[in-house]
């Protein structure tokens, strides 16, 4: 017998004696929505509030974002071509590079990538391989700013799950990378970004 | 006094570790409670629903596992099955050798702990580095995780600073931020040179073949960004029917584990790179591991397979808080481990048969469980199994005397009357097994035996009879 046959035979013989089996319970859409979600009417405002609460910096305009970025004095900023229009003002003020490769991991300390969407309820940014073709660009730099279109913000976690795109890799980012492994003390920027930002357009 | 093995560990636990474990588990329990209360009017109802989903999946596991395999295969992943721990390790080695890979990075996975994958790979000459900060420290120390979610809950910053110094990651520095930065820098090099990323999975959806991985550090994402091959080791019980079920399970997992609405990174993977999505690993392998799970499924403790490894039962357990994780001498500590570890031990059940007794059956583990596992009931079933299999039980006082008293009303009544004599006897010097040791740390109250019976009688008298 193959390993597969052995395992399936063992499962079947384990389940055979059950007099009846647990039926599939109905999981109503939104059954695990936070109870306060019903009182919220503005998805964008809610997203900003929730994202800020988990430590994601939110920018309402590219000028606000640029003003903040300029103060950080970034070494090199990766901005892919498709975001050229959004960040037109950045040219000449910070050093912009248009391509990202793994041998530049230590040089590029800030990266902008387009997000596939967001979730208001949890303040989550959604990235996919389609929106962010280079996974490293959204992960390796100290500062990552996801560019989120306001009309792509889902209201709840359940809504986002009901509208999962066809992509081999979807990642929800809810705040900067963090750990509390050392004596329970919260430290940001373990492997991923220490600063997670979001530019709303 | 003869002791259960777990008691020996507790006695040897340094007070600093015990204090750290107690504080941190209590704080996480409090955060969990606050957040669930803020967000849900009926979080108890949600736990029960999630439990029903998991139980349903287990009872149709043959259907859902086959469906998950089909969904994954359709999206270009290669699915393997491993009956034993050894089979699983061999499958990983086979994939790596076929691809000519000698260096891998790993994200945290309980099933890889269970099958001792790192040791196996090291013996095959393959370098396997744990990327989760806590797991990395466990690895360089040759230690074992002591908590499902917080593997180094038993270590101080000083311990870690000494380990980093020893490994050449810089001079002694016990600042948590410096420790984290050093790990970040070291791990960058490892991620980029690794040929494969090895992960577990928190869930696998049957209908869409999604592997769900949650981390706070971003390490699983990093394992899968530059590597050519992704190997996921997944317990066969991790399947859930559909994406819709995840809305409930993910919402409960983060809140229960760490008091977060969602863990920072929630990653959904259903296949290797494609022509239209040329990012990520070229190969994706999913190894479904049995390693005695089908035996657990056939037992009267199958409910334990609902577990989603949040660690809430560890955090709330008065025994875990005193004992810490190593006292459980197995991969899974705490209440879930007291059930799961003896079951997964196979013919070594007897060696871990003391674990189900390491509980006051207070029920807190069941109350916090996001999938409503009746852990106290399962502990009792395992105690019964140990009794049936004649596992010796040192430290348990002989209960035959009580059984005699309890089953003969006449003897009971006279014991209640003459029991008052105990107030005048030097009990700690009587030749009753364990009594002396038991009394060393306890004072018995004054004898009040028989009072209930006389109260009952007088009550009947006042109410105009009704008794005999």
Nearest residue of B to residue A137 by CA position? B225
Out of B52, B180, B298, the one facing A25 most closely (by C-beta) is B52
**Does position B2 have pLDDT exceeding 60, yes or no?**
no
Task: Provide mean pLDDT across the span B407-415.
Answer: 89
Give the pLDDT score at A28. Answer: 95
Contact A189 B251 (CB under 8 A): no
* B281 has a chain A CB within 8 A of its CB: no
Out of B133, B137, B236, the one facing A7 most closely (by C-beta) is B236
Number of H helices, E strands in chain B: 22, 10
| DSSP letter, residue B202 | S
pLDDT band at B303 (very low <50, low <70, confident <90, very high): very high
Q: Which backbone phi and psi does A2 adopt, to 5 degrees? A: -75, 165
Give the pLDDT score at B277. Answer: 87
pLDDT band at A184 (very low <50, low <70, confident <90, very high): confident
Give the pLDDT score at B446. Answer: 86
Out of A171, A185, A187, the one facing B221 most closely (by C-beta) is A171
Give the pLDDT score at B261. Answer: 95
**Does position B450 have pLDDT exceeding 90, yes or no?**
no
CATH of the domain at B112: 3.40.50.10420
d(Cα B70, Cα B64) in Å, to the nearest integer? 10
Residue B28 sits in the same domain as residue B126:
no
> Which one of B191, B239, B247 would you mutate to disrupt binding with A, by most A Cβ within 10 Å of its Cβ?
B247
Distance from CA of A55 to the nearest CA of B (A): 10
**Does position B160 have pLDDT exceeding 70, yes or no?**
yes
Q: Domain total for chain B?
A: 3
Contact A162 B243 (CB under 8 A): yes
Q: Closest Cα to residue A196, out of A134, A148, A133, A128?
A: A148
B458 belongs to a structural domain: yes
Residue B320 sits in the same domain as residue B381:
yes
Distance from CA of B37 to the nearest CA of A (A): 10
pLDDT band at B399 (very low <50, low <70, confident <90, very high): confident
Out of B236, B248, B280, the one facing A135 most closely (by C-beta) is B280
Instruction: Report percent pLDDT > 90 for chain B.
Output: 75
**Does position A194 have pLDDT exceeding 90, yes or no?**
yes
> Which one of A130, A144, A168, A194 would you mutate to disrupt binding with B, by most B Cβ within 10 Å of its Cβ?
A168
> Which one of A1, A2, A3 would you mutate to disrupt binding with B, by most B Cβ within 10 Å of its Cβ?
A3
Q: What is the DSSP string of B358-427?
A: S-----HHHHH-TT---HHHHHHHHHHHHHHTT---TTPPP-HHHHHHHH-HHHHHHHHHHGGGGGGS-G
Task: Provide mean pLDDT across the span B353-379.
Answer: 95
pLDDT band at A121 (very low <50, low <70, confident <90, very high): very high
**Does position B397 have pLDDT exceeding 80, yes or no?**
no
User: Parallel, antiparallel, or unpaired for β B127-130 and A110-114?
Assistant: unpaired
Last residue of a domain, one of B291, B315, B340: B291
Task: Provide mean pLDDT across the span A34-40.
Answer: 94
User: Considering chain B, what is the average pLDDT of its residues?
Assistant: 92
Q: Which domain holds residue B257?
A: 63-291
B140 belongs to a structural domain: yes
Give the pLDDT score at B467. Answer: 45
Residue A60: how many CB atoms within 10 A of its CB? 14
Tokens coding B196: 């494969």
A158 contacts in chain B (CB < 8 Å):
244, 247
* A22 has a chain B CB within 8 A of its CB: yes
Q: Which residues pair with B199 in a beta bridge?
A: B232
Q: How do residues B62-84 score in pLDDT, each as one tens digit?
A: 999 999 999 999 999 999 999 99
Q: Closest Cα to residue B63, out of B185, B290, B196, B240?
A: B240
Give the pLDDT score at B148. Answer: 93
Domain boundaries, chain A: 42-200
**Does position B152 have pLDDT exceeding 90, yes or no?**
yes
Task: Provide mean pLDDT across the span B135-145.
Answer: 94
**Does position B235 have pLDDT exceeding 70, yes or no?**
yes
Residue B140 sits in the same domain as residue B234:
yes
Q: How do residues B273-302 score in pLDDT, each as one tens digit?
A: 998 888 889 999 999 999 999 999 999 999
Residue B148 sits in the same domain as residue B252:
yes
Give the pLDDT score at A103. Answer: 84
d(Cα B151, Cα B264) in Å, to the nearest integer? 18
**Chain A, 84-123: which have a CB under 8 Å from a chain B CB?**
102, 105-106, 121-122
Q: Which residue has the higher pLDDT, B459 or A43?
A: A43
Contact between residue B118 and residue B323 where contact means Cβ atoms under 8 Å apart:
no
B267 belongs to a structural domain: yes
Task: Provide mean pLDDT across the span A2-11.
Answer: 98
CATH superfamily for domain A42-200: NagB/RpiA/CoA transferase-like (3.40.50.10420)
Contact between residue B300 and residue B246 where contact means Cβ atoms under 8 Å apart:
no
Residue B164 sits in the same domain as residue B79:
yes
The mean-pLDDT minimum among A192-196, B269-273, B307-311, B422-426 falls in: B422-426
Give the pLDDT score at B468. Answer: 45
- Per the rule left: phi > 0, alpha: psi between -120 and 50, beta: everything else, B108 is beta
Contact between residue B105 and residue B198 where contact means Cβ atoms under 8 Å apart:
yes
Q: How do residues B258-268 score in pLDDT, each as one tens digit?
A: 999 999 999 99
Number of residue pairs across A and B with CB atoms under 8 Å? 252
**Chain B, 443-462: which have a CB under 8 Å from a chain A CB?**
none
Q: Which backbone phi and psi does B380 adopt, to 5 degrees? A: -65, -40
Strand blocks (E) in B6-91? 78-82
Residue B77 sits in the same domain as residue B127:
yes
Give the pLDDT score at B442. Answer: 80
């Amino acid at each position: 017998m193959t390993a597969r046959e052995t395992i399936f035979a063992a499962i079947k013989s384990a389940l055979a004696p059950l007099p009846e089996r647990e039926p599939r319970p109905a999981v109503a859409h939104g059954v695990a929505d936070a109870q306060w979600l019903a009182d919220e009417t503005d998805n964008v405002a809610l997203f900003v509030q929730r994202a800020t609460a988990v430590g994601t910096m939110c920018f309402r305009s590219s000028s606000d974002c640029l003003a903040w970025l300029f103060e950080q004095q970034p070494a090199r900023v990766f901005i892919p071509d498709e975001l050229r229009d959004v960040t037109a003002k950045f040219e000449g003020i910070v050093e912009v590079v248009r391509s990202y490769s793994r041998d530049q991991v230590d040089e590029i300390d800030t990266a902008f990538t387009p997000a596939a969407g967001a979730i208001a309820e949890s303040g989550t940014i959604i990235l996919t391989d389609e929106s962010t073709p280079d996974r490293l660009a959204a992960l390796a730099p100290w500062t990552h700013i996801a560019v989120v279109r306001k009309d792509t913000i889902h209201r709840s976690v359940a809504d986002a799950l009901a509208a999962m795109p066809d992509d081999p890799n979807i990642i929800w980012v809810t705040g900067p990378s963090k750990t509390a492994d050392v004596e329970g003390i919260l430290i940001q920027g373990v492997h991923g970004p220490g600063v997670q930002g979001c530019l709303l357009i | 006094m003869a002791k259960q093995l777990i008691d020996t560990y507790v006695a040897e636990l340094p007070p600093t570790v015990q204090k750290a474990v107690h504080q941190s588990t209590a704080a996480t329990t409090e955060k969990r409670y606050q957040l669930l209360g803020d967000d849900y009017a009926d979080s108890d109802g949600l736990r029960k629903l999630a439990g029903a989903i998991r139980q349903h999946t287990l009872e149709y596991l043959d259907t859902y596992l086959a469906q998950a395999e089909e969904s994954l295969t359709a999206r270009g992943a290669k699915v393997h099955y491993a009956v034993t721990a050894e089979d699983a390790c061999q499958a990983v080695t086979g994939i790596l050798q076929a691809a000519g890979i000698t260096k891998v990075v790993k994200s945290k996975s309980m099933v890889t702990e269970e099958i001792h994958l790192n040791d196996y790979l090291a013996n095959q000459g393959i370098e396997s580095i744990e990327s989760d900060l806590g797991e990395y420290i466990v690895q360089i120390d040759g230690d074992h995780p002591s908590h499902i979610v917080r593997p180094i809950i038993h270590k101080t910053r000083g311990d870690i600073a000494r380990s980093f110094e020893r490994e050449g990651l810089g001079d002694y520095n016990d600042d948590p931020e410096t420790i984290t930065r050093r790990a970040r820098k070291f791990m960058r090099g490892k991620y980029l040179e690794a040929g494969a990323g090895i992960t577990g999975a928190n869930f696998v959806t049957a209908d869409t073949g999604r592997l769900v991985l949650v981390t706070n550090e971003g390490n699983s994402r990093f394992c899968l960004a530059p590597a050519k091959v992704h190997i996921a080791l997944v317990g066969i019980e991790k399947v859930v029917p559909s994406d819709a079920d995840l809305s409930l399970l993910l919402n409960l997992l983060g809140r229960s584990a760490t008091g977060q609405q969602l863990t920072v990174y929630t990653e959904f993977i259903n296949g290797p790179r494609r022509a239209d999505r040329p990012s990520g690993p070229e190969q994706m392998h999913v190894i479904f591991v049995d390693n005695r799970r089908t035996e657990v499924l056939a037992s009267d403790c199958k409910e334990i397979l609902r577990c989603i490894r949040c660690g809430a039962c560890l955090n709330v357990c008065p025994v875990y808080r005193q004992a810490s994780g190593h006292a459980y001498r197995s991969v899974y500590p705490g209440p879930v481990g007291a059930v799961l570890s003896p079951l997964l031990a196979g013919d070594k059940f007897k060696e871990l048969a003391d674990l189900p007794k390491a509980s006051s059956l207070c029920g807190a583990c069941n109350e916090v469980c996001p999938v409503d596992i009746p852990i106290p009931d399962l502990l009792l079933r395992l105690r019964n199994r140990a009794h049936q299999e004649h596992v010796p039980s040192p430290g348990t006082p002989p209960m035959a005397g009580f059984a005699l008293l309890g089953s003969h009303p006449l003897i009971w009544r006279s014991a209640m009357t003459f029991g008052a004599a105990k107030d005048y006897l030097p009990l700690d010097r009587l030749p009753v097994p364990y009594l002396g040791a038991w009394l060393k740390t306890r004072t018995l109250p004054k004898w009040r035996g028989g009072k209930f019976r006389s109260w009952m009688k007088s009550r009947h008298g006042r109410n105009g009879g009704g008794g005999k």
